[in-house]
């Protein structure tokens, strides 16, 4: 069963707002009747109400507010100190135009080498495990002959399933960039060599993924089960990435490229289900996004719906996809990072635009 864990940390207004976000999710879990296994999985998302300020729920009644709120409360209020007013992000988001947001499409790079094939199969395994863990039934599956590009299914996912999936995946997605950046940084220090601009891009990727997670956490709070799963997954994944990046950074970047293909696929499907009105809460244009997202992506007025939010996140994932597939194609120790390099006046056509090329750039296209 889904736990409704009391907390004394929030005001009645915050409780109503958080409840507003989670209530439909909880309701849909019951409505969907996903079976006992799914119930355990979805117990991961728990409600954080205020026991001291809310009446004890009567048996058989939902103990959440149905008060409508126009905007979610940010759940990470800035710490107030005597001197500091604001802590801006270290990496400002470059932003996207409307055309760039809409131009992103799911795509798949065909494996060419044994390393590619290993990376692809590992990602397929991860996708299968995620589908299983989020209780996705057969009718909710897309065409599994084209798992990365097909986004239609007989039945949509519920908002609860989406939340579990997004929070879990984003908590994992921030790991590889940090591992790669850290190892390249250490390599530069101990070998007394330049890095050629890779470190910052990798660290920025991990920062960007963490922002996705922080935004997702404003939509629902994980319970103890999901927190435990996240803890265990990070322990395993960090160490696996650490070893694999030491052994073969090329295959590791390919693996991340394939992982990001899945991320683009996931968000494209989510956007489609929102547009179809399959997700009652998130399809509602009056359900606007949290402040943390508006500030980070500088989302313009009138473009702050959940669809808009996931368009931004999807574009970020498309950038990671193109960057990692491209980096995998380069000579790891000597090639400069083409995404931050300055090109000659007549060579601008070789400058890569990561989001637009799902399979990434071949070495000859960007290095020459
Ligand atoms: Fe992400
Ligand atoms: Fe990503």
| d(CA 261, ligand 1 centre) in Å | 11
Tell me, yes or no, whether 222 lies in a domain.
yes
- The answer to the question of residue 78 being in a domain is no
Measured in Å, residue 359 CA sits from the centre of ligand 2 at: 15
**How far is residue 163's CA from residue 166's CA, in Å, rounded to a whole number?**
5
What is the distance between the alpha carbons of residues 331 and 149, in angstroms, rounded to a whole number? Answer: 29
Q: How far apart are CA 191 and CA 293, in angstroms?
A: 40
Choice between 364 and 10, residue whose per-residue pLDDT is larger: 364
Question: ∠ CA 194-197-201 to the nearest 5 degrees?
Answer: 140
Tokens of 152: 């239609």
Q: How far is the CA of 57 from the centre of ligand 1 (A)?
A: 36
Tell me the binding residues for Fe cation: 170, 209, 212, 260, 317, 320
Report residue 60: phi and psi, to 5°: 85, 0
Of 180, 243, 240, 235, the C-alpha closest to 209 is: 180
pLDDT at site 74:
56
Domain count across the chain: 1
Sheet containing 4-7: order of strands: 4-7, 45-50, 221-222
Q: What is the CATH number of the domain that holds 262?
A: 1.20.1260.140
Range of 44-53, 76-85, 97-106, 131-140 with top mean pLDDT = 97-106
Indicate if the pLDDT at residue 341 is higher than 60.
Answer: yes
Q: Is residue 237 part of a domain?
A: yes
Q: Supply 142's token pair.
A: 């897309």
Evaluate whether residue 93 is within a structural domain.
no
The ligand placed nearest to the CA atom of residue 177 is: 2
Compute the distance from residue 108 Cα to the ligand 2 centre, in Å: 15
Q: Apex CA 302: angle with CA 301 and CA 308, to 5°?
A: 105
Give the angle subtended at the CA of 205 by the CAs of 201 and 206, to the nearest 5°. Answer: 125
Tell me the CA–centroid distance for residue 165 and ligand 1, in Å: 11
Q: What is the DSSP string of 256-291?
A: HHHHHHHHHHHHHHHHHHHHTT-STTTT-TTSBPPH
CA pair distance 53, 83, nearest whole angstrom: 33
**Poorest-pLDDT segment among 65-69, 95-99, 183-187:** 65-69
Cα of 206 from ligand 1 centre, angstroms: 9
The answer to whether position 87 is within a domain reads: no
How far apart CA 166 and CA 148 sit, in angstroms, is 16
The Å distance, Cα 213 to ligand 1 centre, comes to 7
Give the N- to C-terminal CA distance of the chain in Å, as an integer. 58
Segment 146-169, tens digit of pLDDT: 888 888 888 898 998 999 999 999
- Binding-site residues from annotation: 170, 209, 212, 260, 317, 320
**191-234 per-position pLDDT tens digit:** 999 999 999 999 999 999 999 999 999 988 889 999 999 999 99
pTM value? 0.81
| Arithmetic mean of pLDDT, 335-344 | 95
223 and 3 Cβ atoms separated by less than 8 Å: yes
Q: Do the domain assignments include residue 65?
A: no
Q: What is the mean pLDDT of residues 67-94?
A: 72
Which pLDDT value is given to residue 79?
Answer: 76
Judged against a pLDDT cut of 50, whether residue 63 lies above it is answered with no
Give the CB-side neighbour count of residue 365, counting CA atoms within 13 A.
14
* 304, two tokens: 């702050």
- 162 domain-assigned: yes
* pLDDT given for residue 345 in this prediction: 87
For residue 10, the CA-to-ligand 2 centroid distance in Å is 32
Q: Which ligand is nearest to the CA of 260?
A: 2
In a domain, 85, yes or no: no
- For residue 85, the CA-to-ligand 1 centroid distance in Å is 29
Residue 59 has pLDDT above 80, yes or no: no
Which of the ligands is closest to the CA of residue 166? 1
Asked whether residue 37 carries a pLDDT value surpassing 90, the answer given is no
Range of the domain at 241: 4-52+98-366
């Amino acid at each position: 069963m889904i736990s409704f864990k009391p907390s004394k940390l929030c005001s009645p207004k915050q409780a109503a707002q958080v409840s507003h976000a989670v209530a439909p999710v909880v309701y849909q879990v019951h409505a969907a009747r996903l079976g006992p296994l799914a119930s355990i999985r979805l117990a991961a998302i728990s409600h954080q109400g205020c026991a001291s300020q809310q009446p004890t729920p009567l048996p058989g009644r939902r103990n959440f507010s149905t008060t409508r709120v126009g905007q979610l409360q940010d759940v990470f209020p800035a710490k107030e100190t005597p001197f500091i007013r604001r802590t801006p992000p270290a990496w400002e988001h470059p932003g996207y135009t409307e055309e760039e947001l809409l131009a992103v499409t799911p795509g798949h790079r065909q494996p060419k080498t044994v390393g590619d094939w290993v990376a692809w199969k590992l990602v397929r395994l991860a996708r299968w495990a995620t589908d299983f863990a989020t209780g996705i039934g057969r009718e909710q599956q897309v065409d599994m002959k084209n798992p990365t590009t097909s986004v239609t299914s007989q039945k949509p996912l519920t908002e609860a399933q989406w939340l579990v999936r997004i929070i879990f995946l984003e908590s994992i997605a921030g790991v590889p960039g940090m591992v790669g950046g850290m190892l390249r940084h250490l390599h530069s220090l101990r070998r007394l060599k330049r890095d050629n601009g890779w470190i910052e891009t990798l660290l920025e990727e991990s920062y960007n993924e963490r922002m996705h997670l922080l935004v997702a956490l404003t939509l629902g709070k994980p319970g103890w089960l999901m927190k435990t799963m996240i803890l265990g997954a990070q322990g395993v994944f960090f160490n696996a990435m650490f070893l694999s990046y030491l052994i073969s950074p090329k295959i590791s970047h390919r693996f991340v490229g394939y992982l990001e293909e899945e991320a683009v696929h996931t968000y494209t499907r989510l956007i489609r289900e929102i547009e179809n009105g399959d997700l009652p809460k998130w399809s509602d244009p009056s359900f606007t996004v949290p402040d943390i997202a508006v500030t980070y992506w500088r989302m313009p007025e009138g473009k702050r719906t959940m669809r808009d939010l996931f368009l931004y996140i999807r574009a970020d994932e498309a950038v990671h996809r193109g960057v990692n597939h491209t980096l995998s194609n380069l000579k790891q120790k000597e090639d400069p990072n083409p995404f931050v390099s300055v090109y000659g006046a007549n060579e601008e056509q070789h400058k890569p635009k990561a989001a637009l090329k799902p399979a990434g750039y071949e070495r000859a296209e960007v290095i020459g």
